Chains A and B, each alone.
Chain A
């Protein structure tokens, strides 16, 4: 399954919203009825960290300014107000069809 993110680069002013799109080459609805689309953040020099699982659920400790939405093949990660600590690369990942695959990443930077 090919995951395509846009944009590849996202310059954002502090305090402004940001949005990242992720599209899959086939439906991510699993036979069990769940949709295994997750979002990860990788800050510079750090390991990736999962932010959102199964489209719209927050992982522990994730600020509620992050939100996920979508269905089927189209998904979105939104940040309501970007903060300095949000700088990094964001990846979507599908966990429905093996091998699980990531998008190519979106590099969020501060303007």
Chain B
């Protein structure tokens, strides 16, 4: 059974950095693209970027290029989303998901910027 399990809620101060994890199980991690989707409160869905764990080939949506970093640790089947210099506008739910495959998304990680 495919599972994507994300790290828990994060509350950060503006200017801090944050790294969210997504641990995959139930399939061959290195064979499937995986990525991150942002959902701001009450809003729609936005692909931020995707990565192929086999060779770390990464594509970023232009809006997020330079603002976030997506990486993997193949040894523990985990994908990361790093947000630097958090702003209040980064407050959102972040999901990991496989863009080209069926199967569940991660449960979401709520990131809240709080002063």
A105 touches B44 (CB 8 A): yes
What separation, in Å, do the CA atoms of A93 and B105 have in the docked complex? 15
What residues on A are CB-neighbors of B47 within 8 Å? 99-102
Contact partner of A95 among B95, B100, B105, B108, CB < 8 A?
A: B100
A102 touches B45 (CB 8 A): yes
Interface SS of B by simple majority: loop
Closest chain A CB from B100 CB (angstroms): 7
A49 touches B44 (CB 8 A): no
Q: How many interface residues does chain A have, given as a range?
A: 10 to 19
Q: How many interface residues does chain B have, given as a range?
A: 10 to 19
A47 touches B99 (CB 8 A): no
What separation, in Å, do the CA atoms of A53 and B102 have in the docked complex? 9
What residues on A are CB-neighbors of B106 within 8 Å? 47
Is A43 part of the binding interface, using a Cβ–Cβ cutoff of 8 Å? no
Taking Cβ atoms with an 8 Å cutoff, the residues of A that contact B are: 40, 47-50, 53, 59-60, 91, 93, 95, 98-105
